[in-house]
Structure 1
Amino acid sequence: MPAPPRRALLLGLAGIGLAAPSLAREVADATGRRIAVPDRVARVLAAGPPAAILLWSLAPEMLAGWPGRGPRPAELAFLPPEAAALPATGRLTGRDNSANLEAVLAQRPDLVLDYGGIGPTHVSLAERVRSQTGLPMLLLDGRLPLIPETYRRLGEILDRAPAAAVRAAAATRILAAATDAAERLRARGRPRVLYVRGPRGQETGLAGSINSEIIEFAGAENVAASGLGGGGLATISAEQVLAWNPDWVIAMDPAFPGFARQDPVWGSLGAVRAGRLALVPALPHGWVDFPPSVNRLLGLAWLPVLFGAAPADGLAETVAELYALLFHRRPEAAQLAPMLRQALPGRA
């Protein structure tokens, strides 16, 4: 049976009569809305994967379940055993807003958390969830530079201020180092980068897209943003790729590098011929995108090294420490080595 659409889900929640938690205090989310939440929050329903990763990094015991699907075996190898025990709860937001009604109700969350956009559409959904279910829904801004502030805000809401402070401090250090590296790149000439999604590189992020904002934050020029302007995700053609002729191609899909080297269009690019085709590490979550959450801190540690604005020495240790902080499991060197080899062609 197909999953119910978002509107049907929300009406169903109201009809079944989910008991609202006892609300004892007010907090402010990133939109400035003052929202009543329980004095003690024990369980949180993540509206989408970005919120789930944020919450898992700070308070994994509070996560009610994985939106959409649970981690696959390859992803679980980078997570503690508890990650496998959480149910799949479906999604309230994003392209696949297909939350399963029974799974949502079974979790009895104290509040709903969404992390990413905070525009009118997201506020409208949050207000609809609250009015039809009695559950408070908080929105946190997913922009990359705001990660430290987001951690501190969420730490206050969940009574996890000390753990949030540790993560905010780490994020501040990563952001500052990436900013310094970006200044060095601008001084010598920004690399022109094309970030591609999909097995054939048919999709990319434009200016203002949360999916690709990390490219420019790291000091590179997003050629798709320069060529197509602002927006979210966009489909691109072979003609556009040839016209842009980027210095670097960064791919999200592990099938893309093999395709690009055999394809006459992609294979003709100077970047591909010169070996400047890097694969974004994706376990347990992508370092650039997919989903765009706090896992992107790993990308900010990696991209300056890829572009030659920071030394490769120490990257593996930095990455291992971030894994321990964000995912609660420190990877073995043998787990990281193959990812870094593909992420740093000719370097690692």
Structure 2
Amino acid sequence: MRKHRRGLVLAAVLCTAILIYGCQKADIKETKETTPAQTETATVPPSESTGEKTRVFTDSAGREVTLPEDIQKIAPSGPLAQIVLYTVAPDKLAGLASDFSDGAKKYIDEKYWGLPKFGQFYGKNANLNMEALIAAKPDVIIDIGEAKKTVKEDMDALSKQLGIPVVFVEADLDSMSSAYKMLGEITGETEQAAKLADYCDSTLKKSEAAKASLGADQKKSVYFAIGDNGLHTNAEGSIHARVIEQIGAENAAKVDQASSGGGSEVSMEQLLLWQPDIILADSETLYQIITTDSVWAELNAVKEGHVYQIPSAPYSFMSNPPSVNRMIGILWLGNLVYPEQYHEDVKADVKTFYDLFYHVQLTDAQAEDIVQ
């Protein structure tokens, strides 16, 4: 998650929050550590004011955060945190960062649809609903994603201004397993967190072994088409295109990464020079454009029928947001590009992933619909 230091709330709203939550403020202590710390917890005596037992938890930024010993209500700081927290502790979500899409609702239990919406707590898309947050009274706010240089200051400022303890959990593709173990410590859902951590470990090991077995002549190039016309892409090195590199393929778009979520703009002339082996389309509309437009027909991948629509419900297999949803993307794309290395029953993999992470048991027909 890309974070930007900005004002979090208006002064008038801030005063209201402090008055309501003042008695619940966490005792945050800064640390001089500059690298993520290992998970550490210690129980401390009950608060004299509330009688509630608390503990000190060391988060990924090395911050010591005082938390209730028993966490019952969690607020996600944004959409990426929402996905991860839903997979590990759905019944402890005090609210959502964003509504579930109509497509996602097919795979999300209806009881979660109507949770209060808090919005995103900070960043360029900040839209915090303070009234909903106050009413929900979460025990903790959890921020999940990539660490930036100012993460300690950002988390401390958020906790101080909202009067609620805030924990940062670092999570990218490589560290997703350790993130789940840390979330198990925070939420108390250690058994579920361990299952999710093991799945992530196993998937990454499988992809690394497959990648290592590829010869130089087996490398295939993949173009990740996004936007209205497919001439925007998540370029080589982009966090949104990480799955391509993880399976051992090459990202065809060797251009500068875009600083915004709209991707890097490219031209058809560049695409004709690159001639990617495989084209991925991030929507059904874009898939139809690429497979029917006469201009795109000049590409070998289109001529040979190597254009595929990325599964996207409840979340994209490739990105959007770039979270744990990419784990099933590794198996899906790996099997698509290198079937001899992966030997996957993709429908069975999808059913397993959805059961474990999204808490839904798919029928064979649903799994078929998703992968097609």
- Match status 1:120 vs 2:122: no
Q: Which residue of 2 aligns with 1:244?
A: 274
Give the 3 Å change call, closer, same or farther, for CA 94–303 of structure 1 in structure 2: farther
Specify the alignment match of 1:308 in structure 2: 338
In the alignment, what sits opposite 1:107? 136
Give, in angstroms, the shift of residue 94 of structure 1: 5.2
Cα distance in 2 for partners of 1:92, 1:243 equals 43
Shift of 1:107: 1.6
- C-alpha change, 1:6 and 1:103, in structure 2 (3 Å) is farther
Q: Is 2:196 the counterpart of 1:167?
A: yes
- Say if 1:282 and 1:247 are closer, same or farther in 2 by CA, change over 3 A: same
| Equivalent residue number for residue 243 of structure 2 | 214
Kindly provide the CA deviation profile for residues 41-79 of structure 1, in whole angstroms up to 9, marking residues without a partner as x. Answer: 1111111111111001000011122213x2133311112
Is 1:195–2:227 an aligned residue pair? Answer: no
Report the Cα offset of residue 89 of structure 1: 1.9
The answer to whether the 8 Å contact 1:192/1:221 transfers is: yes
Q: 3-state SS of the aligned residue for 2:308? A: strand
Q: Name the structure with the higher helix share.
A: 1
Is it true that 1:132 corresponds to 2:147 in the alignment? no
Mean alpha-carbon deviation: is it higher for 287-296 or for 306-315? 306-315
CA contact (8 A) 2:331 2:344 kept: no
**Counterparts of 1:70-89 in structure 2 under 5 Å?**
70-89=99-118
Q: Which sits farther off after the overlay, 19-28 or 328-337?
A: 19-28
Give the distance between the partners of 1:201 and 1:299, measured in 2 at CA.
20
Distance in 2 (alpha carbons) for counterparts of 1:314 and 1:326? 18
Alignment-derived partner of residue 369 in structure 2:
338
How many equivalent pairs are there? 335
Q: Which residue of 2 aligns with 1:47?
A: 77
Per the normalisation by structure 1, the TM-score is: 0.88
Task: Provide the residue aligned with 2:14 in structure 1.
Answer: 14
Q: Which amino acid aligns with 2:192?
A: A
CA-to-aligned-CA distance 1:293-342 (integer Å, 9 cap, x gap): 1111110121110112445652211210110110101111111212322x
Instruction: Report the more deviating stretch, 73-82 or 40-49.
Output: 73-82
Task: Please tell me whether the aligned partners of residues 45 and 63 of structure 1 are also in contact (alpha carbons under 8 angstroms).
Answer: yes
Match for residue 170 of structure 2?
A: 141
Structure with larger Rg: 2
User: Which residue of the partner structure matches residue 158 of structure 1?
Assistant: 187
Q: 1:209 to 1:231 in 2, by over 3 A?
A: farther
Moved more, 73-82 or 165-174: 73-82
* 1:181 Cα offset (Å): 1.8
Identity %: 27
- Alpha-carbon deviation of 1:187? 5.0
TM-score, normalised on structure 2? 0.83
Pairing partner for 1:98 from 121, 127, 151: 127
Contact 1:6-1:99 at 8 Å conserved across structures? no
Shift of the 83–6 alpha-carbon distance from structure 1 to 2, 3 Å rule, reads: farther
Q: Does the 8 A contact of 1:209 with 1:231 survive in 2?
A: no
Specify the alignment match of 1:29 in structure 2. Answer: 59
SS at match of 2:284: coil
Letter of the aligned partner of 1:79 in structure 2? I
Contact map agreement 1:206 1:232 (CA 8 A) in 2: no
Secondary structure of 2:71 counterpart: coil
Q: 1:77 to 1:28 in 2, by over 3 A?
A: same
Residues 87-121 of structure 1 show CA distances to partners (whole Å, capped at 9, x for unaligned) of: 22211245522122212222211111122221025
CA distance in 2, matches of 1:296, 1:33: 28
* SS, match of residue 139 in structure 1: strand
User: What do you get for the CA RMSD once the two structures are aligned?
Assistant: 2.3
- The AA in structure 1 aligned to 2:9 is L
Alignment CA distance shift 1:13-1:294 (3 Å)? farther
The answer on 1:228 being equivalent to 2:259 is no
- Quote the offset at 1:8 in angstroms: 5.4
Greater shift, 288-297 or 178-187, is seen at 178-187
Query: Which residue, 264, 285, 288 being the options, matches 2:315?
Result: 285
Distance 2:342 2:149 in 1: 42
Give, in whole Å, the separation in 1 of the partners of 2:204 and 2:289. Answer: 33
Q: Structure 1 residues 31 and 241, CA, compared in 2 at 3 Å: closer, same or farther?
A: farther
1:11–1:128 CA distance, 2 compared to 1 (3 A): farther
Check the 8 A contact 1:242/1:265 in 2, yes or no.
no
Q: CA deviation at 1:229?
A: 6.1
Find the counterpart in structure 2 of residue 324 from structure 1. Answer: 355
Task: Report the more deviating stretch, 105-114 or 119-128.
Answer: 119-128
Distance (Å, rounded) in 1 between the aligned partners of 2:122 and 2:322: 14
Cα-to-partner distance string for 1:210-260 (whole Å, 9 max, x where unaligned): 211121011111122x33369675321223333322111112222111111
Between 320-329 and 192-201, the greater mean CA deviation after superposition: 192-201
Letter of the 1:305 partner, please give it.
N
Contact 2:318 / 2:326 at 8 angstroms: preserved in 1? yes
Deviation string, structure 1 residues 127-163 (Cα, Å, up to 9, x no partner) = 2211212222222223101111110011112122221
What code does the residue aligned with 2:358 have? F
Query: What is the SS of the residue equivalent to 2:113?
Result: helix
Contact persistence 1:196–1:203 (CA under 8 A): yes
